[in-house]
């Protein structure tokens, strides 16, 4: 089994002093590593796939698109406000200094559909918790929260309730 952590680059003091950024671009640039990451993320879903994947802007799109292709699933996209052209639902979430919002097309998830929410990174969990609320408001059922990387010390997992949380790489 490939050591995928060796394809994640640590960037100190980015985007501001005191932050250690986990950069996935080397993993994305290495076809064998990206393939392995997607295969590992997909494997548990193959025997019990969701109805749809939902991904958070923007790096979540990369993993969810590859997973959707591999598993034969559609991908609903969750974006910052004003980026989606059709009717949307919005959810707010807290940031360190203020609030932000995300939105999804109101027809992206049908009532009763099972959904796996996908993003590249779990940090504090606020964005993904809001995404889960959006899926629930549309009548969907969050089956799993799936991440390429989890920063365990930031405690984001605790905000994500009602479905399992799975991360490929833990830091």
The model's pLDDT over 67-120, given as tens digits with 9 standing for 90+, comes to: 999 999 999 999 999 999 999 999 999 877 789 999 999 999 999 999 999 999
Which residue's structure tokens are 């929260």?
A: 145
Q: What is the pLDDT of residue 90?
A: 98
**Alpha carbons 143 and 135: distance in angstroms, whole number:** 10
27 neighbors 34 (Cβ within 8 angstroms): yes
- Return the domain boundaries, the chain: 49-170
Q: Is the dihedral of CA 102, 60, 54, 108 positive or negative?
A: positive
Q: What is the pLDDT of residue 40?
A: 98
Q: What is the pLDDT of residue 98?
A: 81
Q: Mean of the pLDDT values across residues 57-74?
A: 98
Q: What is the pLDDT of residue 97?
A: 75
**Would you call 108 exposed, middle or buried from its count of C-beta atoms within 10 A (0-12, 13-18, 19+)?**
buried
- Any idea which fold 49-170 has? Rossmann fold (3.40.50)
Q: What is the pLDDT of residue 95?
A: 79
């Amino acid at each position: 089994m490939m050591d995928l952590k060796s394809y994640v680059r640590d960037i100190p003091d980015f985007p501001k002093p005191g932050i250690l950024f986990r950069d996935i671009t080397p993993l994305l640039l290495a076809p064998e590593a990206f393939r392995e990451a997607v295969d590992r993320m997909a494997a548990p879903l193959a025997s019990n796939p969701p109805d749809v994947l939902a991904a958070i802007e923007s790096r979540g799109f990369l993993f969810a698109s590859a997973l959707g292709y591999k598993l034969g699933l559609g991908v609903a996209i969750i974006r910052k406000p004003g980026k989606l052209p059709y009717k949307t639902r919005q959810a707010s979430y807290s940031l360190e200094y203020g609030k932000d919002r995300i939105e999804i097309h109101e027809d992206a998830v049908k009532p009763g559909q099972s959904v796996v929410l996908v993003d590249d990174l779990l940090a504090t969990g606020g964005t993904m918790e809001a995404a889960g609320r959006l899926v629930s408001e549309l009548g969907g059922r969050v089956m799993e929260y799936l991440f390429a990387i989890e920063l365990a010390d930031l405690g984001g997992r605790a905000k994500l309730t009602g479905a399992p949380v799975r991360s490929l790489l833990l830091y």
